[in-house]
Structure 1
Amino acid sequence: MTENELKNLLAAVTPPDEAARAAAHAHWAALAKPLGGLGRLEAMVEDAAALTGDPVPDVSRRAVLVLCADNGVVAQGVSQTDASVTRAVLENLTARRTSVCRMAAAAHCDVVPVDMGIAGAPVPGAAD
């Protein structure tokens, strides 16, 4: 992304819709539960309402992003494993052979494996 593309993208960002946030808060407050009883979950839904402009944001599409990168300290003996393990994990994520993939499937969530900087050739199926 170029600097101009970034500037154009940032210029299109709008402020949060505080009316939608207030409406979402009012909804939570009207439910039969202790006020604020769901803690941070309520605040996150209110934030989503403000960002989308919808007091009842649609959360039907969910995803787990798994960010994979080599930690860079293998040579210093700090890491338990070398870069081959990071690659194996990413390959298994793209093949949907991991526990997170099974848990995400049970919760009807997509899994998005992301190569944030692993050694070697790109892994097919991983976002770069």
Structure 2
Amino acid sequence: FQTLLAIKRRQPIVAAQHLERAQKLAVAITPERRAWIQLLAVQLALVRNDDKRAREQLAELAPFLENASDPRLLALYHMLAAELAKRARDTLTASTEKQRALDALHAAEIAADAIYQDCVVCTPTIPGK
């Protein structure tokens, strides 16, 4: 939670410190929790405008998420992919990824705006959508 709050406040140094502590503790937690921590790392990379690192971290998560059951985890992954596509001015991919995120939430009967609680670096609108 502290990492997410620091990212939301655009405090990358503080966020990195909290994330490092969380990653050290991640050894003893479930793979799904580790995925959440890695998605925090993606958000931190985005706050730092390190899109390349964010893309690499998302790619590392892709195989795990093929079998993930948490709809919010899946939605966050797709929203971060949408954010990266938007930054690359790829509106078609951004729109597709955002729709995948919303579909994951909808299938689990979770309100669409819940994604912005998990993805503090994501913006509610995507050009052309």
User: Hey, which of these two has a bigger chunk of strand by percent?
Assistant: 1
User: Hey, which of these two has a bigger chunk of helix by percent?
Assistant: 2
Structure showing greater radius of gyration is: 1
TM normalised by structure 2 equals 0.28
TM normalised by structure 1 equals 0.28
